[in-house]
Amino acid sequence: TFYLAIFGARVSAVLMKNMDKEVKRSRLAEQLYKHYASTAIPKGIHCLSLRLTDEYSSNAHARKQLPPPELLPLLSDNSFQHYILASDNILAASVVVSSTVRSSSVPEKVVFHVITDKKTYPGMHSWFALNSVSPAIVEVKGVHQFDWLTRENVPVLEAIENHRGVRNHYHGDHGTVSSASDNPRVLASKLQARSPKYISLLNHLRIYLPELFPSLNKVVFLDDDIVVQRDLSPLWEIDLEGKVNGAVETCRGEDNWVMSKRFRTYFNFSHPVIDRSLDPDECAWAYGMNIFDLEAWRKTNIRDTYHFWLKENLKAGLTLWKFGTLPPALIAFRGHVHGIDPSWHMLGLGYQESTDIESVKKAAVIHYNGQCKPWLDIAFKNLQPFWTKHVNYSNDFIRNCHILEPLYDR
């Protein structure tokens, strides 16, 4: 009996170990699936871009000037509220603009500067030409239309595009990050950092705002995976106390995903360059909804610092930090950030389904910065309606591309 008990215990231990391996393997597979699903372009959104691009070539109304000539002076009028959005996702951009205008107490004072890439420009222009958000004003520009964006002014882009390590990192075999020893949450972070968007010009564009908009004094920059739920006009009254960047600090909360981030979360402090340059306990802050004082910014060396550290990371074989484009910005904006109330910008949607819905309802801006974007099939159904209510599902282009309104349990 004694030996049978020992044998049984050993068998149970082996079974439990195998079961743990299977659970871990399943979780890792789930993260890989989410990564591929999150980086793929849904058929409906791809169709929307193609159809609107075709409309641009065949319909004069889709090519009409945005804004009309009589309103062009307002694009540089600092008495208006200027919002900047950089995106190649037409549907997502439409939600950001419509939710901002709908929430505004003074929509007639809202000016949107929508920036996209050369490929998406005709379709993006068509959408806003055919779907007015009057009395707000919308300008659509492609990156190719900014004379300032040259190789001489943006030297780091050529370095990134031609650097073999970067190409391998972002476009290489994703299997190299999926070893069985990886924690699923760590793997999720590694995969998200490998998204090709991190080496796109659109993602780096915000660091060049003072040069791209030389006549503007203050702007609000919005990511394309946000929804505005409250009037943002009071943002323009916030005293940044001489700082450049008004942002929500992300070291004041307790959740592991978003609101407990310090520099140690993003940087490799085992590297001597980082260890001697940064403080691991320094508070991080959020990209996605930022108030930028461009006048104050022009008096700083923020852009040059950003370039310097991107090049340092290239020289170090991409070993200085883990995630995308926020880390070099965390360094470049050091000493230039003014913390704003967290209720202005709620991050973390799209990481896990168990998000506090009451907090979501109260936030001025909600940010789906996790992998499960609201326009994807993997979106969390309890969080998706905050985004979908700003999609016009009766629009002919949306219907013809079979972008269907999700059905929710009532």
pLDDT band at 165 (very low <50, low <70, confident <90, very high): low
> Which residues constitute the domain of residue 326?
43-400
> Would 320 be classed as within a structural domain?
yes
- What's the angle, vertex CA 250, arms to CA 246 and CA 252, rounded to 5? 110
Mean pLDDT comparison of 193-197, 201-205, 404-408, highest-scoring range: 201-205
> Would 139 be classed as within a structural domain?
yes
pLDDT band at 203 (very low <50, low <70, confident <90, very high): confident
Return the number of other C-beta atoms located less than 10 Å from residue 254's C-beta: 6
CA 189/CA 24 separation, integer angstroms: 16
Q: For residues 349 and 370, is the Cβ–Cβ distance under 8 A?
A: yes
HSE toward the beta carbon, residue 405, CA cutoff 13 A: 12
> Would 408 be classed as within a structural domain?
no
> Would 71 be classed as within a structural domain?
yes
Both structure tokens of 90: 């037409």
Both structure tokens of 121: 């420009």
Give the CATH number for residue 343.
Answer: 3.90.550.10
Q: What is the pLDDT of residues 315-366, one digit of tens each?
A: 888 899 876 789 999 999 999 999 999 999 999 898 888 788 999 999 999 9
> Would 29 be classed as within a structural domain?
no
Q: What is the pLDDT of residues 52-89, one digit of tens each?
A: 999 999 999 999 999 999 999 999 999 999 999 999 99
What total of structural domains would you count in the chain? 1
Mean confidence (pLDDT) of the chain:
86
Mean pLDDT comparison of 186-190, 192-196, 379-383, highest-scoring range: 379-383
> Would 25 be classed as within a structural domain?
no
Both structure tokens of 148: 């300032």
User: DSSP secondary structure string, 225-279?
Assistant: TEEE-S--GGGGG---TT-SEEE-BSSSS--SSSTT-BHHHHB-TTSHHHHTT--
CA 142/CA 144 separation, integer angstroms: 5
At residue 40, the 3 state secondary structure works out as coil
Q: For residues 187 and 28, is the Cβ–Cβ distance under 8 A?
A: yes
Tell whether the model's pLDDT for residue 179 goes beyond 80.
no
> Would 14 be classed as within a structural domain?
no
> Would 23 be classed as within a structural domain?
no
| pTM for the full predicted model | 0.85
Tell whether the model's pLDDT for residue 198 goes beyond 60.
no
Return the number of other C-beta atoms located less than 10 Å from residue 337's C-beta: 20
Both structure tokens of 163: 């650097």
**Which sign does the torsion angle of CA 328, 330, 331, 333 carry?**
positive
Is the previous residue joined to 327 through a cis bond, with omega within 30 degrees of 0?
Answer: no
